[in-house]
Structures are given as C-alpha cells and as structure tokens.
Amino acid sequence: MTQQQESQSPFDPAGMFKDFRDAGMDAWAKTMVQLVNTEAYAEATGAMLNAWLTGSGPFRQTVESSLSHVLSNLNLPTRDEITQLAQRLTHIEMRLDDIDAKIDDALRASPRTARSITPPAKKKK
C-alpha cells in the first residue's frame, strides 16, 4: 500500500478513484451484483418500467395523433403510411428472392442455359 502511495502521482485526477477502487471496488461490485439479482430489485424495476410506460403513454399518444393530423393536412405521409409502404416493399423483395431462387435452380439444372445467357465477350476491333 505504501509503495502504491509512493508510485501514485499526487496530481493524478483519477487518483482518488484508484484509491477507492483498491480499497473496496471488488466488494462493492459483488454487493451490487447481489442486489440486482434479488427478487425485490426485479419487482421494483418491473414496477418502475410499468409506471413509466403507462404514465408516458397518453403524452406519446397525443403527440403522435397531433403529428399525424398535421402531416395529413400538409398532404404528407404519416409514419404509419410509410411503415406500411416499407412492409409492402419487403414483401416484394421476398417475391423477387423467390424468382432469384428459381433462376438459380434453373441455371444449376441446365449448365448450357447458363452459358447461353452469359454475355459474350466483346470482339476487339
């Protein structure tokens, strides 16, 4: 300990933290791990989360509905409409992927077809 004090710079801003850590950080860490692993902590966290979600819900809903109203009046798409559009795009992508799979299967089944659709190399003039 004396050696540590001697080697430690008195001007190191983190020196205080180092001393604190050396003295009891491990014990503190273990205590905290034990604390967060209790039923009481789990129950308190769950209750706090529920309270926050329920309490902030009406505010969030009000903001979202007024924003949707404003966007509709401005002839702009709302978040829900863009979300629906994105979902439709994903479905189209899936259909394209199905087609891609069929093309791959066809090419594998018939190597001659694969050769015929490969673009010919350009002739040098």
Partner 1 sequence: MADSQNPQADVPSFTDVCDEWHKSLEKMQKFNELLTTNAQIAQTSKQLIWTLNKARLFRYVPVKPEKELHKIPLLLVFAIMNRPHVLDLRPGHSYVEYMLQHGYDVYLMDWGIPGPEDRDLKFEDYALEYLPRAIRKLKTVAEREQFSMLGWCLGALISTIYACLRPDDGLKNLVLLTAPLDFSDKSAGGFSRWASNPEFNADLVVDKLGNVPGEMIDTGAKMLKPVENFIGTYVNLWDNIDNSRFIQGWHAMNTWVRDIIPMAGAAYQQLINDFYKENRLIENSLVVGGEQVKLCNLKASVLNVIAEADHITPPCQSERVMDQLGSQDKEVFRVRGGHIGIMAGSGAEKNTWPHIEKWLADRSD
Interface with partner 1 (CB under 8 A), residue from 23, 63, 77, 79: 79
Contact string 49-78 vs partner 1 (x = CB under 8 A): xx--xx-xx--x------------------
Tell which residue, 69, 91, 89, has the closest CA to residue 78: 69
Tell which positions 82-121 bind partner 1, by CB under 8 A: 82-84, 86-87, 90, 93-94, 97, 100-101, 104, 108
**Dihedral over Cα of 72, 74, 77, 80: its sign:** negative
Is there binding between residue 14 and partner 1 (CB under 8 A)? yes
For the bound state, the minimum distance from the C-beta of residue 104 to partner 1, rounded and expressed in Å, comes to 5
> Cα(44)–Cα(68) distance, rounded to whole angstroms?
35
Are the CB atoms for 107 and 114 separated by under 8 Å?
yes
